[in-house]
Structure 1
Amino acid sequence: MIDRTTLWIVIIGLGLGSFFLRFVFTGLVGNRPMPAWLLRHLRYTAVAVLPALVAPQVLWPAATGGEPDPARLAAAAAALSVGLITKNVLAAMLAGGVTLYGMLYLFL
């Protein structure tokens, strides 16, 4: 267990770091226009973050002790396929969720 002092130091440090990162773009840049190359790269931030969050849970899920299983791989494939075909995020999430719970129901 972590002691209270260390916990609060970590919480305050993460809060300050988060504030600083946001302040750099909003406070220092302000109303000045950003370069076109930066705006072009910032468009892909959200697209890169979601797979970075999901991939470890598909490839090394804690529920299976870090071993990939067919249910999660099938759900990821279904979500990716539906997302590419329909270009609809909600439909992709729904397809992945239905596939995951369907496969877990069949395998367990």
Structure 2
Amino acid sequence: MPVFMMMQKMGLYNTYTGVILTILATSMAFPILLMRSFFDSVPFAMEEAAAIDGCSRFMALIRVIIPMTLPGIPFERNGSQRLIGNRGVPVQAKLHDLLLPV
């Protein structure tokens, strides 16, 4: 189903929320696939060791798994989004810059 028709049925046509959801849905698929490999690289023995030490699953995630996958998680200090330009050169753009044409 085209995005236009989905947004129209959900009442999000011609709204900022609809634009934001569309951008998120189209731009998050590839990073999630990339991050999966980082999370799969953490040995299960580390999670078991955290459980033996008394960590819950959530604490093991926060204290063991995420610190081991930090090299794969991109961070931005100023809260802006990184976009790739036409020639593969990273270009910074804030969210309001993306929504102005709408």
Using the size of structure 2 for normalisation, the TM-score is 0.32
TM-score, length of structure 1 as denominator length: 0.31
- With a CA cutoff of 8 Å and minimum separation of 6, indicate the structure with the bigger relative contact order: 2
Considering only CA atoms, is the larger Rg found in Structure 1 or Structure 2?
1
Query: Higher helix proportion, which one?
Result: 1
Q: In proportion to residue count, which structure has more strand? A: 2
